[in-house]
Amino acid sequence: MNGRTPFYYSAVIVLLAVVVVGGLDRHGRSARIFGTAGALGDPRVEIALTATPQEAFRLWKQRGYKGRTVVFIGEQWKRIDPSQYFEAPLYRQYPLKLYNLAEKQEREYLSADNILYFADLSGIARQITAVLGKTGFSQLAVQAPQARNVKFRDGEIFMTHHGFPRTFTTAEHFRAGREPVLLYVNADYFRADEPEILLRQLMQSGLTTDCVILCSQTGDTSVSATERTKLERFAGLMRMQGRVLP
C-alpha cells in the first residue's frame, strides 16, 4: 500500500469535518430570527422584567428567536452536568409515538441554573457570551485550565462544550460584535457593581439588541433586596417606560 494513503485519508476526513462545521455555522446564521434592534435606550427595543430565569427562557421561545447570540450578565457562571437530563427509555411500546426530546427534557428539567443550556438545545442560542462579575470571572479563570478546548485572550476566556461556543469576560473587557444580541441581566450582577457603570460599559462596547431581559431572581435566597433595587435602577436608566412587559 502506498505510504501516503493514511495521510491522504486523514486529510480528507479533516477537510470534511471543516466543511460540515462551516455548513452548520452558516445554517445557524441563516436561520437567525430577530426583532427590531437598536442601542440600549432605543425605545424600539423590547425590554422585559421577569421574576425568574425560566420566565426569560419562555419569553425567548414565545418570540420565536432562533440562532442567536445570547449575552448573559451575572455575578458568576453556574456549571451544570447535561448528562443528568438524558434519561432515554430502554424500550418503548409500539406503535412508536414521535416526540421532541428537547421539549420533553425542557418540561421535566428546566430550572434557573440551566436556561442557557436549554436555549442551546432548543436552537434559540447559537453562541453565548457570559459577562461575569470580577469575582466570578476570577474563579472561572482558576478552573478553566482544567477544561478542554480552552483559549485565553486579552480579558477573555473561550471554551466550547460539546462544540457549543462560549466566551467569558468582564464588562470592562466586553466588546460587542455587529450582530444584535439577546441581552439577559441577572440581579446578582449588582452584588459588587453599580448600574450606572454597567450601562456605560455596555454602551461603550457598541452593543445592539432587540430584546433585553432583566431578571430579579425571585425566590433565590442568595440575591439581596439591594441587588434587586439596583436592577430596578438599571431599568430606569435605560428609559424603559412604555415598553415594559408584564
pLDDT single digits (tens) 143-163? 898 888 899 988 999 998 777
Predicted local distance difference test score (pLDDT) of residue 80: 79
How many domains in the chain? 1
Q: Does the residue 72 lie in any domain?
A: yes
Quote the pLDDT of residue 243.
46
The model's pLDDT over 23-33, given as tens digits with 9 standing for 90+, comes to 545 545 555 77
C-alpha dist (Å) from residue 4 to 9, 11, 70, 202: 9, 11, 45, 53
pLDDT digits (tens, 9 = 90+) for 70-83: 999 999 998 877 77
Please answer whether residues 67 and 32 qualify as being in contact, where contact means their C-beta atoms are separated by less than 8 angstroms.
yes
Q: Which residues make Cβ contacts (< 8 Å) with residue 16, sequence separation at least 6?
A: none
Assess if residue 4 is contained within a domain: no
Between CA 82 and CA 23 the distance in angstroms is 25
Residues in the chain: 246
pLDDT at residue 99 tops 90: no
Q: Indicate whether 21 belongs to any domain.
A: no
What is the predicted pLDDT for the residue at 188? Answer: 98
For residues 212 and 244, the model is more confident at 212
Q: What is the pLDDT of residue 200?
A: 94
Task: List Cα–Cα distances, 21 to 121, 125, 157, 163, 171, in angstroms.
Answer: 17, 16, 21, 9, 30
Look at residue 13 and tell me if it is in a domain: no
Q: Give per-residue pLDDT as tens, 190-234.
A: 999 999 999 999 999 999 999 999 999 999 999 999 999 999 999
Average pLDDT, the chain: 83
How far is the C-alpha of 186 from the C-alpha of 50, rounded, in Å?
10
For residue 60, is it within any domain? yes
In a domain, 132, yes or no: yes
Q: Picking from 38-47, 65-74, 154-163, 237-246, which range would have the lowest pLDDT averaged per residue?
A: 237-246
pLDDT tens across 106-116, in order? 888 899 999 99
Considering the domain boundaries, does residue 151 fall inside one?
Answer: yes
Residue 205's domain comprises 29-245
242: left (phi over 0), alpha (psi -120 to 50) or beta: left
Confidence of residue 137 (pLDDT cuts 50, 70, 90): very high
More confident residue, 15 or 112: 112
* pTM as predicted: 0.80
For residue 236, is it within any domain?
Answer: yes
Q: Is the pLDDT of residue 16 over 50?
A: no
